[in-house]
Amino acid sequence: LGLFGGGDDPWMTEMFSFRMMSGGVFSMTLGDLMVLIGLIFLFIEISKSVRTTNASILDHLLSTLVFIA
């Protein structure tokens, strides 16, 4: 049935929501969580790449290879 476009989008599953002080409603979906996790990993990789030890240079090269692959 998935071939014909049936069913719900699993990435739009709402995990939680709350009312903000402005009166708007903030809702976190599974897709939003995936993007947030990706940004956290990107921050970790960037902070690791600015070190200048021999091990960090090798780690930077391996991270670049993983990014290209």
In a domain, 64, yes or no: yes
**What's the total number of domains in the chain?**
1
> 35-57, pLDDT tens digit by residue?
999 999 999 888 877 777 778 77
In a domain, 22, yes or no: yes
| Among 56, 11, 22, 63, residue whose Cα is nearest residue 41 | 63
In a domain, 21, yes or no: yes
Would the pTM count as exceeding 0.75?
A: no
In a domain, 1, yes or no: no
CB 53, CB 35: distance < 8 Å: no
The parent domain of residue 46 ranges over 9-68
> 6-29, pLDDT tens digit by residue?
678 888 889 999 999 999 999 999
- Residue 16: phi and psi, rounded to 5, are -160, 165
